[in-house]
């Protein structure tokens, strides 16, 4: 569900502010009824009319980007750094990332203009599974793995049970590769979890978001999701 004025703005009717004015003036109908109060939530099943003319429904777009390092996961950056949305500058619709990856984190990132699906996928209630591979300083051990799995305190918050696995340990270089699967998305969560158990992250890649991977995509490459993949994502949040 999304706010009526937001849906109108996305459909190119007017800015959000101007759409609010149209609503106040009684010029907007939802499913045939005039709506004048602000903040009504509508879904893609609702019919919206302005001056009795139905608004064109915005085509929903879904992309998977293999995010490179050195790119910000937001629609714009006050410091003028490259953003993940810059990869899609040829697209008229306003798309935005589903959640965030840090500036220096690489891997699977979804982008869409489907606000409803974004809200659901990022809602903790659904706990979409995200798998990360981290290169850490130090030689990781079973005690650390078990702490990561059981949950630990970061910023006064206990992380939910996770899956962790040692991929490789390199005593010569004093580094290890660890796979961590979590169902949450707190700020810098993976880095904080690994630092808390004594293994600071040097490099981080998100290998999987739900069932989606970067297979076939070089760093900085993207593809549109297939219809069956979008449907499968929607199934995940029904479960």
Least distance between ligand URA and beta carbon 188 (Å): 4
Closer to ligand URA by CB, 27 or 100: give it. Answer: 100
The alpha carbons of the chain give a radius of gyration, in whole angstroms, of: 21
- Would you count residue 159 as binding ligand URA (CB under 6 A)? no
Site string for ligand URA, 186-225 (x = CB under 6 A): --xxxx------------x---------------------
Q: Give one word for 26, left, alpha or beta, with left for phi > 0 and alpha for psi -120 to 50.
A: left
Say how many residues touch ligand URA, by CB under 6 A.
Answer: 8
Q: Which stretch binds ligand URA (CB under 6 A): 32-40, 60-68, 86-94, 182-190?
A: 182-190
CA distance 136 to 174: 9
Instruction: Quote the distance between the C-alpha of residue 44 and its chain's center.
Output: 20
Which of the residues 99 through 138 are near ligand URA (CB under 6 A)? 101-102, 105
Which residues are the active-site residues? 102
Least distance between ligand URA and beta carbon 72 (Å): 11
Closest CA to 102 of 76, 84, 128: 84
Instruction: Name the phi and psi angles at 128, rounded to 5.
Output: -55, 135
């Amino acid at each position: 569900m999304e706010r009526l004025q937001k849906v109108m703005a996305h459909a190119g009717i007017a800015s959000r502010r101007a759409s609010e004015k149209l609503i106040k003036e009684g010029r907007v109908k939802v499913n045939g009824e005039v709506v004048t109060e602000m903040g009504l939530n509508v879904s893609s099943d609702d019919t919206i009319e302005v001056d009795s003319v139905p608004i064109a429904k915005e085509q929903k777009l879904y992309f998977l980007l293999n995010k490179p390092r050195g790119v910000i996961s937001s629609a714009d950056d006050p410091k003028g750094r490259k953003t993940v949305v810059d990869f899609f500058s040829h697209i008229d619709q306003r798309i935005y990332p589903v959640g965030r990856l840090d500036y220096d984190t690489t891997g699977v990132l979804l982008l869409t203009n489907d606000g409803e699906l974004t809200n659901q996928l990022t809602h903790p209630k659904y706990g979409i599974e995200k798998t990360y591979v981290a290169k850490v300083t130090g030689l990781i051990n079973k005690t650390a793995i078990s702490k990561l799995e059981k949950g630990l305190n970061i910023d006064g918050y206990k992380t939910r049970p996770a899956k962790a696995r040692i991929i490789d340990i390199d005593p010569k270089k004093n580094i290890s590769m660890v796979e961590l699967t979590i169902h949450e998305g707190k700020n810098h969560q993976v880095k904080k979890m690994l630092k808390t158990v004594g293994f600071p992250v040097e490099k981080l890649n998100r290998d999987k978001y739900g069932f989606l991977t970067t297979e076939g995509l070089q760093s900085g490459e993207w593809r549109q999701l297939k219809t069956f993949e979008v449907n499968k994502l929607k199934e995940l949040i029904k479960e």
